[in-house]
Amino acid sequence: MKADLHPNYQPATVTCTCGTVYHTRSTQKEVKIGICAACHPFFTGEQRFVDTAGRVDKFAKRFGGVQLRRAAKPKLSPAGA
């Protein structure tokens, strides 16, 4: 086998945004995740909506609005004219 082929595999701490901490092994010392088994709706049984309104507001601030604008369709003249 070749020497130094595999990356450094070390103890790691996985931290979720809900505050749950897991200890495992990884190539990184610290890993931050957004959702885990302790807070995922499938495992907890509760439905929780992601902050979609905040996302829309952030998009509106960045791009100046979210109103839909339709392009004017050209009017067709009557077939006999």
CATH number at residue 37: 4.10.80.400
* 67 belongs to a structural domain: no
Domain limits for position 39: 1-45
Q: Tell me: the pLDDT tens digits for 15-68?
A: 998 889 999 999 999 999 888 888 877 767 776 565 556 777 777 788 776 565
Domain count, the chain: 1
CA distances from 2 to 6, 7, 8, 9, 10 (A): 9, 12, 15, 17, 20
* 76 belongs to a structural domain: no
* 33 belongs to a structural domain: yes
* 22 belongs to a structural domain: yes
Strands in 1-81 per DSSP E: 10-16, 21-26, 30-33
Q: Report how far residue 65's alpha carbon sits from residue 45's, in angstroms, rounded to the nearest whole number.
A: 36
Q: Report how far residue 12's alpha carbon sits from residue 79's, in angstroms, rounded to the nearest whole number.
A: 74
Length reported for the chain: 81
Quote the pTM value. 0.49
Amino acid at 16: C
